[in-house]
Structure 1
Amino acid sequence: MAHDISFDQRVDQAVHDTSLQEAVHLTQDRLRTGRIKAAGELDNVDEWRQMASDIRSHTIENLDSYLEQFADNVEANGGHIHIAVDDKEAVTVVNRILKEVNAQSVVKSKSMVAEEIHLNESLEASGVKVTETDLGEYIIQLADEKPSHIIAPAIHKTRKQVTELFSKEAGYQLSEEAEELCDFARGKLRQEFLQADVGISGCNFAVAESGSVVLVENEGNIRLTTSLPKTHIVLMGMERIVPGWKELDVVLSMLPRSATGQRLTTYVTAVNSARQPLDVDGPENLHVVIIDNGRSDILGTAYEEVLKCIRCGACINVCPIYRHIGGHAYGSVYNGPIGAVLSPLLDDYEETKELPFASSLCGACTDVCPVKIPLHELLIEHRKDEVDKGFAGKREGMTFDMFGKMTTKPWLYAKGVKWAHAATKPFSEEDEITKGPSLLREWTNSKSMKRPPNMSFREWWERERKE
């Protein structure tokens, strides 16, 4: 994951992008409010969260046996299972399937794991036409951008910007009316559905006991993607599994409530097999690609709980950092708090070292997570690991080393407190530090901080006691 510009430059661009601020604030507020309302309908929401957490923990702890059961059932139902160790192998598997059926065009529903393995770029390089059919994904495909949110990929786009993109694609000027914009997209995408050779979908949940792939949506594009083309390929992160339908009922109740504030999405599709003799539609072939790509390395580590994630985006919708910088500033497929934890595990600290520090550690993400992932605690764990592995930087290391020595020696700490007022005078205006030195400079570039008082609390207390 290489970038042309640094994390600081991406953040600077984002915080000065007024259109992004407007779009992100609007959608984030709507999604957050919807979750609060939906959670309020469940008087015992914490009990539901605990049940969902327990199900996901149990599944991750027994992942090998449930994956084996799922794979056996898919094959028993007539489907084909492929195991991909990493992104390159996953892309190779998909390309091989496309060549076997001589595919020229592909329709895709929204899939974060497809973004993770950079599938579109590979398919297009092979001469295959790829069309995103989720409305948000279609918008950012036209804009030649990446998703900026797990469930709302075009959250950063205003209606005016979408109108400009669609008008350019249409060859004539469209109005900003939502109905006209949706009619245009529907007409364009319907043609792609009818002529596509292969449909590629993600996988919200895989049911081990039946070999079913469960997909949730609000637009109907997934049902067309999985039923009209002759071949259906499912891209599945290896952790996207539940033991049975009873467990699915719990996590499926939590997902839409946490994501969009719905009790249930408009469509819930369970794909059990390719077309059967008595079926009137459906694909002739079903392929399920189970993708590891670093997930198995997380098992048994301090970060294992991140694999419980059901990709609802609730943590993103309450994050004050995401609110100001949007998704693209993270420079990763997964953004927000979940991305700040997951991305360094799937990539490495060299490319993602800033992300665990792109957090206020307010804990709001942990409070809303429907499967109770301790996100802010895992961010702290990342910070400790980065320091241990030497990613913190020498200047920062020296500064905190000096601070540590000062705070563990009472006499030195007392002198430091006594001198702090005078030492900060060159950097202050009245009682505010406005142009901090060294590491404080990044803070005071956008905020001020109180100057240490001329008298410490201990000195004041001693004086008052004597008087």
Structure 2
Amino acid sequence: MSAGGQAAALDQKIGSGLKDRTKQALGDEFLRKAVAYTTDKLKTGRLQAMDMFGDWEAWRDRGKAIREHTINHLDYYLSQFADNVTKKGGNVYFCNGSSDAVSTFMEIADKQKAKLVAKGKSMVSEEIHLNHHLEQRNIEAIETDLGEYILQLAKETPSHLIIPAIHKNKQQIATLFTEASGQHFEPETKVLAEYARKKLRNYFLESDIGLTGCNFGVAETGSVTLVENEGNGRMVSTLPKVHVVVMGMERLVPTMEDLEVVLNMLARSATGQKLTTYTSLVTGPKRPEDLDGPEELHVIILDNGRSQQLGDPIFQEVLHCIRCAACLNVCPVYRHVGGHTYGTTYSGPIGAVLTPLIQQDMKEAGTLSYASSLCGACYEACPMKIPLHDMLVHLRHRKVKMKLTALPERIAFKSYQTVFGNITLFKLATKMGYYMQKPLVRGGMIKSGPPPISGWTQSRFLPMLPKKSFRDRWGDLQKELAAKNTAGARAKGGHAK
């Protein structure tokens, strides 16, 4: 099985379970309110930060230019970054797929005889299902990001790129902490945070390996940039003797000057902050004069289908993403159903595009392209101007061309093409449709019906077809206008033209 296939096998059945997960999410009133409330707050913060920042469109253009240049010359900057990490005493590993990355991490863990891994937030480690593989090797992995830790106790995956536990409330968290500790906790933020702080502190001190992701690698210095608001990333990257970074191959900027631009845009787009509370630049392992830091630094750079998008005129821009999650916060689909509905690591519009591309799976993951209204709100919010809505249309087209859509759907659209391509058939169909709908119409609306109508009417009503179509009414209006013109001309003693 390929690396992408292994990852897909560990994910849920993405396409086949999408409708069931959507139905479940729509029936969860708390989830819908929690997701809507938090995404509204994040969206408002982003808009306020944009207004304060000045000419946001100019910054978007600058950010896009940086990412475009980097991806167009990715081979050069990857080589420069790896060379500089090595010069500073670090180790770099290029991994083609998820299985390669997992094997590389296991080799490092075996060398250290590791039994405990303290993890900072890392979506790439979720992508390769590292925790699952560590568990199989009897290596304990502890998530130290508070949201991730909550989900680890709940045995769930992140449902948002930057706020993993967006769908949990204080009562649910208190229940999880009570079950995990044997102590009773009231659903109060200060109490819950204090317990998590004390509990996680021991893991920072006792872990054999600290693992983090990488927001940006700086090619000119070989630095790994980590941004977070809790301080756990700084603990994980300094207290354990070994620091392992797992990063996607596209997460680079050429210079420190470029880093300043994307960091400003990341914080404002993600949470509305001017800058995240903790911004750490890790450049090599601990030096003799340093008071703290890891004795070893290992950087695992993952491809996992990303290089397949290089040179693609449609999809290369997906590699420009800086994982700010602004697209999730404005997406009407995500805001109604949350991240778990997507059934994969990356949710929202970016997930619907990225997942089928990196998994190279149009049959299952390609179905996510339909989890979108194609409204374009994601493009308007994206600081890098990635046209995700256009990419979703192209993914749908790719799925259709590969004949991976359901047979009834293909027959329906073939019939649609035939009818709309022939004016006589079109007129006949609209007249027949009026009479055929009558058994389903109640009070001028279609409120229920057989599939596929039921897929629409289970959450909204369908307007009935009028007896006279727009074309018929337009023809009548043209005749009335012609008659008035003729009558007016005769009244003046002229001739109708």
Q: TM-score, normalised by structure 1?
A: 0.98
Question: Mind listing any 5+ residue stretches in structure 1 that lack a counterpart?
Answer: none
Structure 2 vs 1, CA of residues 22 and 460 (structure 1 numbering), >3 Å: closer, same or farther? closer
Q: What does residue 367 of structure 1 align with?
A: 380
Identical-residue share of aligned pairs (%): 48
User: Structure 2 CA distance, aligned partners of 1:344 and 1:124?
Assistant: 27
User: Structure 2 CA distance, aligned partners of 1:461 and 1:362?
Assistant: 30
Q: What does residue 182 of structure 1 align with?
A: 193
Q: What does residue 323 of structure 1 align with?
A: 335
Q: Which amino acid aligns with 2:407?
A: K
Q: What does residue 116 of structure 1 align with?
A: 127
User: Aligned with 2:311: secondary structure?
Assistant: coil
Is contact 1:353–1:391 with CA below 8 Å preserved after alignment?
Answer: no
Task: State yes or no: 1:64 paired with 2:42.
Answer: no
User: Structure 2 CA distance, aligned partners of 1:401 and 1:429?
Assistant: 30
User: Aligned with 1:258: secondary structure?
Assistant: helix
Deviation at 1:312, TM superposition (A): 0.4
Q: Which amino acid aligns with 2:59?
A: W
User: Structure 2 CA distance, aligned partners of 1:146 and 1:457?
Assistant: 50
User: Aligned with 1:315: secondary structure?
Assistant: helix
User: Structure 1 CA distance, aligned partners of 2:402 and 2:454?
Assistant: 25
Counterpart pick for 1:141 among 124, 135, 152: 152
User: Structure 2 CA distance, aligned partners of 1:463 and 1:47?
Assistant: 52
Is contact 2:218–2:253 with CA below 8 Å preserved after alignment?
Answer: yes
User: Aligned with 2:459: secondary structure?
Assistant: coil
1:42-441 mapped onto 2 (5 Å cutoff): 42-301=53-312, 302-347=314-359, 348-441=361-454
User: Aligned with 1:261: secondary structure?
Assistant: coil
Structure 2 vs 1, CA of residues 464 and 22 (structure 1 numbering), >3 Å: closer, same or farther? closer
Q: Which amino acid aligns with 2:325?
A: G
User: Aligned with 2:398: secondary structure?
Assistant: helix
Deviations 1:54-93 (A, max 9, x none): 1101111100000000000000111001111100010000
User: Aligned with 2:281: secondary structure?
Assistant: strand
Is contact 1:73–1:208 with CA below 8 Å preserved after alignment?
Answer: yes
Task: State yes or no: 1:7 paired with 2:37.
Answer: no
Deviation at 1:108, TM superposition (A): 0.4
Deviation at 1:124, TM superposition (A): 1.7
Counterpart pick for 1:41 among 52, 70, 74: 52
More deviation, 341-350/281-290: 341-350
Is contact 1:321–1:360 with CA below 8 Å preserved after alignment?
Answer: yes
User: Aligned with 2:301: secondary structure?
Assistant: strand
Instruction: Work out the number of aligned pairs and report it.
Output: 467
User: Aligned with 2:279: secondary structure?
Assistant: strand
User: Structure 2 CA distance, aligned partners of 1:330 and 1:459?
Assistant: 43
User: Structure 1 CA distance, aligned partners of 2:353 and 2:366?
Assistant: 11
Is contact 2:363–2:399 with CA below 8 Å preserved after alignment?
Answer: no
Is contact 1:235–1:289 with CA below 8 Å preserved after alignment?
Answer: yes
Deviation at 1:438, TM superposition (A): 3.7
User: Structure 1 CA distance, aligned partners of 2:64 and 2:449?
Assistant: 44
User: Structure 2 CA distance, aligned partners of 1:124 and 1:415?
Assistant: 63
Question: Mind listing any 5+ residue stretches in structure 2 that lack a counterpart?
Answer: 1-7, 481-497
User: Aligned with 2:230: secondary structure?
Assistant: coil
User: Structure 2 CA distance, aligned partners of 1:140 and 1:458?
Assistant: 56
Q: Which amino acid aligns with 2:241?
A: K
Deviation at 1:436, TM superposition (A): 4.1
Task: State yes or no: 1:22 paired with 2:36.
Answer: no
Deviations 1:265-320 (A, max 9, x none): 00110000100010000000000001101111111222111110000000001111
Deviation at 1:9, TM superposition (A): 1.2
User: Structure 2 CA distance, aligned partners of 1:344 and 1:284?
Assistant: 38
Deviations 1:8-27 (A, max 9, x none): 11111111112212321221
User: Aligned with 2:452: secondary structure?
Assistant: helix
Q: Which amino acid aligns with 2:431?
A: K
Is contact 1:396–1:439 with CA below 8 Å preserved after alignment?
Answer: no
User: Structure 2 CA distance, aligned partners of 1:464 and 1:218?
Assistant: 64
Deviations 1:399-434 (A, max 9, x none): 111111111112222222233211221222232122
More deviation, 21-30/277-286: 21-30
Counterpart pick for 1:446 among 445, 459, 470: 459
Q: Which amino acid aligns with 2:395?
A: H
Deviations 1:376-421 (A, max 9, x none): 1100010000000111111111111111111111222222223321
User: Aligned with 1:350: secondary structure?
Assistant: coil
Deviations 1:13-57 (A, max 9, x none): 111112212321221111111111111112210110111011101
User: Structure 1 CA distance, aligned partners of 2:46 and 2:257?
Assistant: 23
Which structure has the bigger radius of gyration?
Answer: 2
Is contact 1:113–1:237 with CA below 8 Å preserved after alignment?
Answer: yes
User: Structure 2 CA distance, aligned partners of 1:368 and 1:294?
Assistant: 26
User: Aligned with 1:155: secondary structure?
Assistant: coil
Counterpart pick for 1:31 among 32, 42, 45: 42
User: Aligned with 1:83: secondary structure?
Assistant: strand
User: Structure 1 CA distance, aligned partners of 2:479 and 2:136?
Assistant: 81
Deviations 1:97-127 (A, max 9, x none): 0111111111000000000000011112111
